[in-house]
Chains A and B, each alone.
Chain A
């Protein structure tokens, strides 16, 4: 009996599907994976872990979260007393990332400012996805008149460029707090999941199992919540990850434009717009750390979304 090489390739390739034969040596039984016995989620996880950039993305997100939430507990800075003798210090001992025009340490606000980005990013993506998914699923499931009205509503919001809508809402919701900021970003973001899930629902509602539930007398709410939404979970998760990236960008843009949470709170966008004022003086530490933090976090979430898409699409192909 020939014992083939252990399938190290991705789950996409057509490898041995069965478990190792029972009479094979014990170590072969260990290394030949028994695909049959593993759930789809385990399979998806394997594919995700093979996506190196996605794993890198997870690492960056974990690092940034620790940096922003645990960092300030370890590295204490004085952000209330100005220290004009020590303004514009270059990064070095004492002030790891240097100081700004008022002598404030810059590493402290970088960590605290990131908290807003991550909190708003996650919360807004969660709210926007939940609302958008329900909107899209209901619209697609009921179709006809309901669908026409609900989708034209989405079209109207989509006609306004996202940043203009956000700025309009931010100026209307003054003063900006963490929750109004989350609301502003979520109102901007729910449209895309609504459209995606509507399209998905249009195909799902013709499937036999949905028709079977209808025949058995299942209510519309049951079909949407127990059958259509769970079956679009791949699309939803992938999109939600991209939503987080977009939300962080939007928060940074609003902060840069001075419409973030007002002082004494801080955020990466605000730090950048302050740094731009002094760009001609060559104080690079006022702009690079905040910019790199934004780009790194956004790219990380985009990579994770990419990995999830690979993982969950494979899951679909396997069925």
Chain B
């Protein structure tokens, strides 16, 4: 078990380094390089040379990469010339707000998807299972922004129950102060995830329902409820653990769109504005941070998976 975790952690460190290298190289492949991107199209050669010299951009690429990694290690993500702030400060302000959005959506999605998946497995191939399967197919194929727009039309334009804009403010406390504004973004992001999770939960439950231990439990006189919630649920949840880890990059992508649609002040919105204004220090900072979150998520999922299912660690370690 320990050996397995250590190997997974080493792998994660290498992938993180790979992400920083990829991002770094892509930035340097840009036409004109960072100087052109920061000083703008009208900067002349002298200005660009001066900028490159001041920022160490005339050094060999590997020296520059080493400096970049050293800066990252001290949480120095660079400086946004467009927003006149350090990228670190921008991330520190906006990342927690995105984590609130993503976290609440995950919780909501799991709370809905798990009972839904079990219900569908129990009622498999009956009319209600078909209806729910069809619905999850549609929700899964639906772009997040379209789903969000429909929710806005229904809940803020027709019913006038909820605001069409996300909560505004600098801190997480501000967001919870405007709880009604938080509802639509969270639900928008959660619905697509529910479709994904409930499909897995359904098939995972179905797989477990035909196992020998279920027959044994039934033979010993356990009620159907006890079989489902005491025996099957625990085993059926194991693949969902992995799925939660693997879906982090999926849900971050959804969060970007949700934040753009609802003007929700998280890193997705920060990233979107940076992408439009070609604010590369911010773009790089956000890509590295979301990459790190994804890597940590799948690492955590693998470790939990190994902890929950002994078969994994005995075969892999």
Determine if A299 and B271 form an interchain contact, defined as CB atoms under 8 angstroms apart.
no
A48→B55 CA distance, assembly (Å): 60
Q: Which of A157, A158, A294 contacts B143 (CB 8 A)?
A: A294
A258→B152 CA distance, assembly (Å): 20
Main secondary structure on B side of the interface with A: helix
Q: Which of B14, B146, B253 contacts A163 (CB 8 A)?
A: B253
Q: Which of B19, B164, B272, B286 contacts A279 (CB 8 A)?
A: B164
Main secondary structure on A side of the interface with B: helix
Shortest beta-carbon distance from A152 to chain B in Å: 6
Q: Give the size of the chain B interface in residues (CB under 8 angstroms).
A: 46
Q: A164-B256, A164-B290, A172-B26 are in contact. Are A156 and B142 (CB under 8 A)?
A: no
Determine if B142 and A160 form an interchain contact, defined as CB atoms under 8 angstroms apart.
no
Asked whether A159 is an interface residue with its Cβ less than 8 Å from the other chain, the reply is yes
Determine if A280 and B257 form an interchain contact, defined as CB atoms under 8 angstroms apart.
no
Q: Render A251-287 as a binary contact track against B, CB cut-off 8 A, 1 for contact.
A: 0110011110000000001001101100110101001
Determine if A168 and B276 form an interchain contact, defined as CB atoms under 8 angstroms apart.
no
Q: A160-B294, A172-B30, A299-B141 are in contact. Are A257 and B260 (CB under 8 A)?
A: yes
Asked whether A155 is an interface residue with its Cβ less than 8 Å from the other chain, the reply is yes
Determine if B145 and A272 form an interchain contact, defined as CB atoms under 8 angstroms apart.
yes
Chain B residues whose CB sits within 8 angstroms of the CB of A159 once the complex forms = 15-16, 18-19, 249, 291, 294-295
Q: Render B132-146 as a binary contact track against A, CB cut-off 8 A, 1 for contact.
A: 000001100111111
Chain A residues whose CB sits within 8 angstroms of the CB of B149 once the complex forms = 272, 275-276, 279, 287, 291
Determine if A279 and B152 form an interchain contact, defined as CB atoms under 8 angstroms apart.
yes
Chain A residues whose CB sits within 8 angstroms of the CB of B1 once the complex forms = none
Tally of A-B Cβ pairs under 8 angstroms: 132
Q: A168-B275, A257-B260 are in contact. Are A152 and B141 (CB under 8 A)?
A: no
A298→B29 CA distance, assembly (Å): 34
Shortest beta-carbon distance from A296 to chain B in Å: 9
Q: In the complex, which residue of chain B has the Cβ closest to the Cβ of A157?
A: B22
Shortest beta-carbon distance from A106 to chain B in Å: 16
A257→B278 CA distance, assembly (Å): 14
Q: A257-B260, A272-B146, A282-B157 are in contact. Are A156 and B253 (CB under 8 A)?
A: no
Determine if A168 and B145 form an interchain contact, defined as CB atoms under 8 angstroms apart.
no
A165→B256 CA distance, assembly (Å): 12
Determine if A160 and B249 form an interchain contact, defined as CB atoms under 8 angstroms apart.
yes
Asked whether B287 is an interface residue with its Cβ less than 8 Å from the other chain, the reply is yes
Determine if B253 and A162 form an interchain contact, defined as CB atoms under 8 angstroms apart.
yes
Q: A174-B278, A252-B143 are in contact. Are A161 and B164 (CB under 8 A)?
A: no
Q: Give chain B interface residues in 60-76, CB to chain A under 8 Å.
A: none
Q: In the complex, which residue of chain B has the Cβ closest to the Cβ of A300?
A: B141
Q: Give chain B interface residues in 270-302, CB to chain A under 8 Å.
A: 271-272, 274-276, 278, 283, 286-287, 290-291, 294-295
A273→B272 CA distance, assembly (Å): 14
A295→B150 CA distance, assembly (Å): 13
Determine if A163 and B257 form an interchain contact, defined as CB atoms under 8 angstroms apart.
yes
Q: A167-B256, A291-B149, A302-B137 are in contact. Are A249 and B164 (CB under 8 A)?
A: no
Q: Interface centre among B22, B143, B153, B157, by most A CB within 10 Å?
A: B143
Q: Interface centre among A164, A167, A282, by most B CB within 10 Å?
A: A164
Q: Render A165-192 as a binary contact track against B, CB cut-off 8 A, 1 for contact.
A: 1011111101000000000000000000
Asked whether B252 is an interface residue with its Cβ less than 8 Å from the other chain, the reply is yes
Q: Give chain B interface residues in 233-257, CB to chain A under 8 Å.
A: 248-250, 252-253, 256-257
Chain B residues whose CB sits within 8 angstroms of the CB of A164 once the complex forms = 252-253, 256, 271, 286-287, 290
Asked whether B261 is an interface residue with its Cβ less than 8 Å from the other chain, the reply is yes
Shortest beta-carbon distance from A113 to chain B in Å: 14
Shortest beta-carbon distance from A259 to chain B in Å: 7
Q: Which of A160, A171, A256, A280 contacts B164 (CB 8 A)?
A: A280
Q: In the complex, which residue of chain B has the Cβ closest to the Cβ of A252?
A: B143
A287→B278 CA distance, assembly (Å): 29
Determine if A152 and B257 form an interchain contact, defined as CB atoms under 8 angstroms apart.
no
Chain A residues whose CB sits within 8 angstroms of the CB of B18 once the complex forms = 152-153, 155-156, 159
Q: A159-B249, A160-B291 are in contact. Are A256 and B278 (CB under 8 A)?
A: no
Determine if A253 and B143 form an interchain contact, defined as CB atoms under 8 angstroms apart.
yes
Determine if B19 and A258 form an interchain contact, defined as CB atoms under 8 angstroms apart.
no
Q: A159-B249, A161-B290, A257-B260 are in contact. Are A168 and B26 (CB under 8 A)?
A: yes
Asked whether A124 is an interface residue with its Cβ less than 8 Å from the other chain, the reply is no
Q: A276-B149, A298-B141 are in contact. Are A161 and B26 (CB under 8 A)?
A: no
Q: In the complex, which residue of chain B has the Cβ closest to the Cβ of A155?
A: B15
User: Given contacts A156-B21, A160-B249, could you give 7 more A-B pairs where the C-beta distance is less than 8 Å?
Assistant: A153-B18, A161-B252, A171-B275, A279-B152, A295-B142, A295-B146, A298-B141
A-B contact pairs, 15 of them (CB 8 A): A152-B15, A159-B249, A161-B294, A163-B256, A164-B252, A168-B287, A171-B274, A174-B278, A252-B145, A253-B143, A253-B257, A257-B272, A279-B157, A279-B164, A294-B146
Nearest 9 CB-CB pairings of A with B: A163-B253, A156-B18, A161-B249, A171-B275, A161-B252, A291-B146, A167-B275, A159-B291, A299-B141
Q: Which residues of B contact A (CB under 8 A)?
A: 14-16, 18-19, 21-22, 26, 29-30, 137-138, 141-146, 149-150, 152-153, 157, 164, 248-250, 252-253, 256-257, 260-261, 271-272, 274-276, 278, 283, 286-287, 290-291, 294-295
